[in-house]
Amino acid sequence: MRLILASRSPRRRELLTQAGYRFEVIPPSDEAEEDSLRPGESPAELAARLARQKAADVVQRLLADGGTLPHRPSTEKPTSPRQTFAQRAVVLGCDTVVECQGQLLGKPTDREHARQILETLSGQEHWVYSGLCLWPLPDGQPRVQVAGSRLRMDPLRPDQLEEYLQSGQWEGKAGAFGYQDRLGWVHLLEGSESNVVGLPLELLAQMLAELL
């Protein structure tokens, strides 16, 4: 089964590589990554919806291209320039959101926004939710599940906050921090560590096993 990651996230690529998966990357379009919360929608439901949107965007573009995929990189000489879905494939969509005291905290738009997010999280417990969507090709039905992890951030001293903002490590990260940065002031209380980084590997392995 060929695994196709529908994501631009370098952290998701790193997690899949470290876990030993062979995969290809086809990023979703910008429209598929719209992350506004709909009325009555919970953060977990938002993560699930966006994961499905990303997978659907890539699936639709692949099928519109005649049901073909570029050849997987290989040491073997390809037999033809493209390969059909006669060989099974699955598109993986994922999205991660952070929720603190009912407030949805997305990716910071700039340094000042990152400061506001971190000040909101400072001294608080919060949840990180990742939606996973697996969409089998050519004609399978999408499966969507959500993983949740509970964390606590220590009260941040002004020097800690400024040091982290200066590092730029907050860029492109939901909640304006990266658990993989090994920060001494963020503690995992419950759930998957890889989920906090951006891809719950335990849930992914379970969902893939159910497809086989």
Q: Which residues are known catalytic residues?
A: 95
**Of the candidates 93, 55, 95, 89, which has an alpha carbon nearest to the alpha carbon of residue 72?**
89
CATH number of the domain residue 107 falls in: 3.90.950.10
Residue 66: its pLDDT value, please?
Answer: 64
Domain total for the chain? 1
Residue 122: count other Cβ atoms within 10 Å of its Cβ.
16
Enter the tokens of residue 120. 């909101």
* pLDDT of 22 above 70: yes
Residue 80: its pLDDT value, please?
Answer: 36
Mean pLDDT over each residue of the chain, to the nearest integer: 87
Indicate the DSSP class of residue 67.
S
Domain that holds residue 15: 2-211
| 70-98 residue pLDDT tens | 555 433 333 333 445 445 899 999 999 99
